[in-house]
Amino acid sequence: MHCVFLAFYLSLAVTTCSATILSGPYLFWGHQSVVALQPRALVEASEDDLTNLFQDVKAIVIFVRNATGRLDGSAYPKFQQLVKSNAWAYLPQHFLATEPFNYNANIEVINLTGSAEEEDQVLISGYDDAVAIYGEGEVLGILASREEDTHYIAKRDAKDRDERTEEERGATTTSQTPTAEEEDKTFIYVAVGHKAVLYVTSAPIINIAGKLNNTKLVSHNKDVTFDDQRGKGYGRLNIIFSVDTQKLFLRFNFTLSRGYWYMKAVEVEYNEYKSVLPVVGTLYSIPSAPIGFSYRCSSRNLQFGNESDSLTISDFQVQPWLNGVPRFGDVYDCVGFTTAPIWAGILVTLFLVGILSIGLIALMDIKTPNRFESSRSKQLSLFIQE
């Protein structure tokens, strides 16, 4: 995820959940069990999963901010590094099925205010203090937002979300008028019937020479479809975006080969413009996984393009042919095995093996003499010479 971020703080001792009402999106990190929550980006984490997690950890540190907008990880480098060095999961949902206050006695709530630099330092110090007391891997960190009581009650009373109007669905948890990006900040594109899904943490960016210049694709038609041609070895995830009152069509092309699927290109249509943009990079840049598995990459951007046009998505997870299952399958990722530390270890090992090999060759080349001179043989040779 190139992940999320904040905090300057005021510590509170919390005994009841009425004192603090949390809303999403959420970032969990620090305990190994949170990894199980990440592949379920299509559905909200279940009450049992969260309850078990809250009970398993020795302590919970909750960082609360007063906004719901996404944070820029580059502004919080220390916190970003902290999250990357731990197991983590990002949950885009607005509310948790259950909150931690009834399941763990060791909870500290830190309200976040101040500049980005101050917040970055407080996030690190607040979490490290808890780790120093309870131990590495025993502290669960949670980054959340504060929900006003009136909005919280209104949301809980609306039990059937399908009965809401479009205006009510678009309302945010704050008193400000929601922007388009806030309305669609999760960026989950699920095909009708749960046939395929693309999930990203930020809006795709498209560049079409003479038409669109690094435009964020924020608003999209909710009726995402998947053209399933599995018998012919391909499929297409179709998403319709709204750009300046015009429709922009993206069709992500998937191919099948020997039990694996590949996302090799995207078709773009905007006004009279039509083009197919292949994945930029090497063969290893193409998202792929076995059928039934998803592919996730948060360490680099995926770019489709040609000489003049491009489409970029970042921190994404994708899976075609879900076959109606409302969750991602097991994850294949883009993290390579041969990282810089591994290469360094291999080179040092080869160097030491080389030295050992030279030593062994030198030892094997030593030859002992097969004849030995005695005192008698020396005298005889001297007599003959005289």
Chain segment 86-127, per-residue pLDDT in tens:
888 888 777 787 888 878 888 988 888 878 888 888 899 999
35-45: per-residue pLDDT in tens? 777 655 456 66
How far apart are the C-alpha atoms of 188 and 201, rounded to whole Å?
A: 8
Quick one: pLDDT band at residue 11, thresholds 50, 70, 90? very low
Find the mean pLDDT for residues 352-356.
Answer: 94
Reference 310, options 270, 334, 286, 276; nearest CA is: 276
**Which stretch of 87-91, 132-136, 207-211, 336-340 has the lowest confidence by average pLDDT?**
336-340
Compare 70 and 347 and report the one with higher pLDDT: 347
Q: What is the pLDDT of residue 140?
A: 93
pLDDT for the residue numbered 245: 84
145-154, 188-197, 291-300: lowest mean pLDDT where? Answer: 145-154
Residue 345 has pLDDT above 80, yes or no: yes
- Residue-level pLDDT at 349: 93
Residue 295: the pLDDT is: 93
Q: For position 222, what pLDDT does the model report?
A: 78
CB atoms within 10 A of CB 247: 12
What's the pLDDT score for residue 139?
Answer: 93
Say which CATH topology domain 187-333 has: Porin (2.40.160)
Q: Select from 69, 84, 68 the least CA-distant residue to 2.
A: 84
Better-predicted residue by pLDDT, 164 or 127: 127
- pLDDT at residue 236 above 70? yes
Domain with CATH 2.40.160.110 in the chain: 187-333
Residues above pLDDT 70, as percent of the chain: 75
Q: Rounded to an integer, what is the distance from CA 303 to the centroid of its chain?
A: 17
- Residue range 48-87, pLDDT digits in tens: 888 888 889 999 999 988 766 666 677 788 888 888 888 8
Question: Residue 285 contacts by C-beta under 8 Å, 6 or more apart in sequence?
Answer: 279, 302
Q: Measured on CA atoms in the order 307, 309, 314, 317, is the torsion positive or negative? A: negative
Q: Residue 159 has what pLDDT?
A: 38
Structure tokens at 166: 């479009």
Distance CA 254, CA 374 (A): 87
Span 318-347, average pLDDT:
82
Give the mean pLDDT of the chain: 78
Q: Which H, E and C letters describe the chain, residue by residue?
A: CCCCCCCECCEEECCCCCCCCEEEEEEEECCHHHHHHHHHCCCCCCHHHHHHHHHHCCEEEEEEECCCCCCCHHHCHHHHHHHHCCCEEEECCCCCCCCHHHCCCCEEEEECECCHHHHHHHHHHHHHHHHHHHCCCCEEEEEEEECCHHHHHHHHHCCCHHHCCHHHHHCCCCCCCCCHHHHCCCCEEECCCCCEEEEECCCCEEEECCCEEEEECCCECCCCEEEEEHHHCEEEEEEEEEECCEEEEEEEEEEEECCEEEEEEEEEEECCEEEEEEECCCHHHCCEEECCCEEEECCCCEEEECCCCEEEECCEEEEECCCCCCCCCCEEECCCCCCHHHHHHHHHHHHHHHHHHHHHHHHHHCCCCCCCCCHHHHHHHHHHHC
